Amino acid sequence: MNGEESTGLDFIRARIVRDGKTGKYDGRVHTRFPPEPNGYLHIGHAKSICLNFGIADEYNGLCNLRMDDTDPSKESMEYVEAIKRDVRWLGFDWGDRMYYASDYFDQLYEWAVKLIKKGKAYVDQLSEEEIREYRGTVTEPGRPSPYRDRSIEENLDLFERMKNGEFADGELVLRAKADLASPNMKMRDPLMYRIRHMSHYRTGDKWCIYPMYDFTHGQSDSIEKITHSICTLEFENNRELYDWFLDEIEIYHPQQIEFARLNLSHTVMSKRRLLELVEEGCVDGWDDPRMPTISGLRRRGYSPEAIRAFCDRIGVAKRESMVDIALLEHCLREDLNRRAMRVMAVLRPLKVVIENYPEDEVEMLDAVNNPESESAGSRKLPFSRVIYIEQEDFREYPPKKFFRLAPGREVRLKHGYFIKCEKAIRDEKSGEIIELRCTYDPKTKSGEAPAGRKVKGTLHWVSADHAVSAEVRLYDHLFTTPDPMSESGEEDHKKYLNPRSLEVLEGCMVEPSLSDARPGEYFQFLRQGYFCVDSRDSKPGALVFNRTVGLRDTWAKIEKAQQSKKG
């Protein structure tokens, strides 16, 4: 903006700064985010949204939201609404600039007529297969269709009759008369219009011919006076055509710039693949918390701030890349660590009786809500003779470096006392350990003078009488392999679906303060991870929590290393 050097900027921003200096668009910056409403937005779209809206913000420009809705067979209002909701949720505002390519159909039709009159477009009646054949290959030039040289009058007449519905689907198409010998396949007389007797979710039955992407996108940008039309790499070949249409129609000409789309490890990122997972029931829907969709991430417990921070950190460039999902998770933890209230929840309860604690006494202990944020305050936590701890926090035969509870060992209960394990009680039939007998040391109460000795471990716990039961859903990566698409054939990626991407735990015990947690509210379950109240299935009295992401787990690493050492 203010003439600073362009180093450190990504290549798109560098170019915008340059265009600003040369006055290419009178210093204007106007971008747009142009999804097709044929599916839900995913984290890859978030990258594009952050880029387009972000640039508009940074350079004092504007960013439009536009539905690229030229294919009536796939698009719907449901998707439009979902897209608007997701963009807004991410924190961006298109003001009064919500546009639809379908609003430009009349104008587009006129421009098509103009091209016909210029001798730059013709009505072809070759079949789909024939057109493919005539187009040639990457090494051989295309051949002209026998209909390529119809008279302008005949083209005009035929095109109008196409519009009027006098022909069946596929019978005729309108093609640009460009360059059949072009080494760029996109220039070999691309289709401009096809016949589809199908009603459109917005224009209804007004049209039975619909413009193709290439004959729509650039002109839509032009109508909206977009300066920089930012799109993904696969449209690089289309740029020549983008320019050609604008020049032939002789209208305002934005600059198309392409960048590499986001690929994220351990998931898939094409709308087609995601649709497939939804339709085949591999997941619960577009907003299944395992999906990389914006709605899935939202339901999983991701914050818009975390997603935006991620989009900033991955940068923008032209090389195809695969971002490690660990970076997304890092951005999430970084955000939630600052803001999430710490609470205690026991996922797999193990009963502990503190034998020397009075039968009916209940103490209300002070518990800090968030050590990262003093203003979060504190709450009271009930403590009593019978509590639950995590099953995995006890080992009868503790391995090396296991700092938790074991026979004869002492640990601290977070916000409470030291307890020492005196005895483990087994179920006679199963042999399973079902209860621990412990003693506590009254001199070790949290916040009071230290008893002069230390313990290595601190456990989370809940008071049995006061705990609230809840369902907890543990989510993990959707795919077991970083790049399911490349490590498999066309349809084989599904064999890498993670069978453990969802584990449902019932009968979890959470502290009483959680009983009135609201849908979407997020917490850190101490020592375990970040969790949010499921916005679809959780009800008062029947709480459901989703694990958004686990905490860094050093012990798990140590244990894994120990096990692999043993072979």
Scanning residues 286 to 315, which ones bind RNA (CB under 7 A)?
313-315
Cα–Cα distance, 361 to 529 (Å, whole number): 31
Residues 408-467 that bind RNA (CB under 7 A): 412, 414-416, 445-448, 454, 457-458, 460
Residues 16-45 that bind RNA (CB under 7 A): 36
Q: Which stretch binds RNA (CB under 7 A): 147-155, 157-165, 499-507, 550-558?
A: 550-558
DSSP string across 293-305: BHHHHHHHT--HH
Binding mask 387-406 for RNA (x = CB under 7 A): --------------xxxx--
**Sole residue written with tokens 């265009």:** 19
Binding mask 469-488 for RNA (x = CB under 7 A): --------------------
Catalytic residue among 84, 186, 261, 351: 261
Min separation Cβ 526 and RNA, Å: 4
Crossing angle (nearest 10°) for helices 43-58 and 304-314? 80
Residue with Cβ nearer RNA (22 or 137): 137
261 noted as active-site residue = yes
Residue with Cβ nearer RNA (128 or 250): 128
Residue with Cβ nearer RNA (281 or 567): 567
Check: CB of residue 459 under 8 Å from CB of residue 478. Answer: no
Q: Which stretch binds RNA (CB under 7 A): 49-57, 92-100, 510-518, 523-531?
A: 523-531
- 355, 373, 369, 374: which is closest to 511 by C-alpha? 369
Among 330, 466, 477, 494, binds RNA (CB under 7 A): 330
| Tokens, residue 522 | 């997020």
Identify the H or E element spanning 332: helix 325-339
Catalytic residue among 36, 160, 471, 521: 36
Min separation Cβ 536 and RNA, Å: 27
- Determine, following the binding rule CB under 7 A, whether residue 374 of this chain makes contact with RNA: no
- Determine, following the binding rule CB under 7 A, whether residue 194 of this chain makes contact with RNA: yes
Neighbours of 361 (CB within 10 A): 9
- Determine, following the binding rule CB under 7 A, whether residue 385 of this chain makes contact with RNA: no
DSSP string across 235-291: GGGGHHHHHHHHHHHT----EEEEEPPP-BTTS---HHHHHHHHHTTSSSSTT-TTS
Catalytic residue among 13, 47, 271, 298: 271
Half-sphere exposure (Cβ direction) of 122: Cα atoms closer than 13 Å: 17
- Determine, following the binding rule CB under 7 A, whether residue 372 of this chain makes contact with RNA: yes
Cα–Cα distance, 532 to 527 (Å, whole number): 15
> How many residues make contact with RNA (CB under 7 A)?
92
Helix (H, G, I), strand (E, B) or coil at 518: coil
271 noted as active-site residue = yes
Among 149, 169, 205, 396, binds RNA (CB under 7 A): 169
Min separation Cβ 458 and RNA, Å: 4
Cα–Cα distance, 465 to 450 (Å, whole number): 28
- Determine, following the binding rule CB under 7 A, whether residue 235 of this chain makes contact with RNA: yes
- 223, 221, 228: which is closest to 17 by C-alpha? 228
Among 2, 22, 137, 430, binds RNA (CB under 7 A): 137
Catalytic residue list: 36, 261, 271
